[in-house]
Amino acid sequence: MTSATLSLRRWRKTLIPLLAGAALAAVSLAASPRGSAQSRDAVERVVDGDTVKLVSGDRVRYIGVDTPELHHPKKGVEYYGREAKAFNRRMVEGKKIRLEYDVQKRDKYGRLLAYVYLEDGTFVNAELIRQGYAQILTIPPNVRHQEQFLRLEREARQDRRGLWAKQPPKESSR
């Protein structure tokens, strides 16, 4: 056998398992849930009902929720804005959190866009809607929990929780 033949056999023994491993990794990645990237941090301070500043310095805007404004240049402080911020503060300020990302990781302002979870597993975005401190705000492509958020908002409206306390419940469409 020539040295060229031996070299080719070695390459095959190395290259075939390497390519098979790469193909398997690509299939696993494609099959994994969209946006499954995560990170952990701690909340330094609450900015408002749906935005926090992390110890790392990043600002996080909660995906899928919209709380009343506190600092709007034209609207000023909106109804239930202070209550939403206070609730968010009680939930997350000074606590360790897990951030879960969807398709788009940052908004046009450079803020991280995330689903936020407490160490005990509480889903903060969902809890804000469930308790009536926020309404849903769906901005594609980050839509993973849209159906859950719609259901929670419908229930909060029906039960007149939070924001919805002063408004008549909407008739459910059948």
Contact call for residues 86 and 28 (beta carbons, < 8 A): no
Both tokens of 6, joined, read 């031996």
Q: Strand 51-54 vs strand 96-100: parallel, antiparallel, or unpaired?
A: unpaired
The single residue listed with the structure tokens 């911020």 is 85
Instruction: Fill in the amino acid letter for 22.
Output: A
Residue 149 DSSP SS3: helix
Evaluate the CA torsion angle 122, 125, 127, 130 in order and state its sign: negative
Just list the catalytic residues. 61, 69, 111
Question: What does the DSSP assignment read for 82-141?
Answer: HHHHHHHHHHHTT-EEEEE--S--B-TTS-EEEEEEETT--BHHHHHHHTTS-EE--BTT
